[in-house]
Amino acid sequence: MNETQMVKHILIEIGLRYPSSVRAWRQNTGALPDSTGRLIRFGLVGAGDISGIMAPIGRRLEIEVKTPKGYATVKQKAFGAMINRMGGLWFVARSFEDVVEKIDEAVSKEVDGSWT
């Protein structure tokens, strides 16, 4: 499965497993030329492939999806460190099982108040 397929699969599975507690969407970043050839940039450099929000307190979610051989870039790691430092949840996922592990761990910490 390539990264694009993994992102689609993870988004579907998040919707099925966490229908009332997580909202997640594909977050594109990059650049394309406009009709005049001028390069237009979109998204935030380093942002995760999947962005979202987790109930009950509105905690930000950022997931960087990688294949088994993929790795996060320096800019992706820096973005992730900022998200985590500010109280959000950023992580690299190589499977939906990674997502379940991290989200369930975060939710259990929120319930007992130890995530901050």
pLDDT in tens, 97-112: 999 999 999 887 765 5
The predicted structure's pLDDT at residue 114: 57
10 Å Cβ neighbour count for 20? 7
Q: What is the pTM of this model?
A: 0.88
CATH number at residue 92: 3.40.1350.10
Using an 8 Å Cβ cutoff, are 83 and 60 in contact? yes
Domain count along the chain:
1
DSSP-derived secondary structure for the chain: --HHHHHHHHHHHHHHH-TTTEEEEE---EEEE-TTS-EEEES-TT--SEEEEETTTTEEEEEEE--TT----HHHHHHHHHHHHTT-EEEEESSHHHHHHHHHHHHHHHHHT---
The residue to which tokens 């790795």 are assigned:
71
The predicted structure's pLDDT at residue 56: 87
Low-confidence ranges of the chain (pLDDT < 70): 110-116
Shortest CA distance to 83 belongs to which of 57, 103, 61, 110? 61
Question: What is the extent of the structural domain holding 63?
Answer: 3-112
The predicted structure's pLDDT at residue 116: 52
The predicted structure's pLDDT at residue 109: 73
The predicted structure's pLDDT at residue 79: 97
Q: Helices 3-17 and 96-112, interaxial angle, to 10°?
A: 40
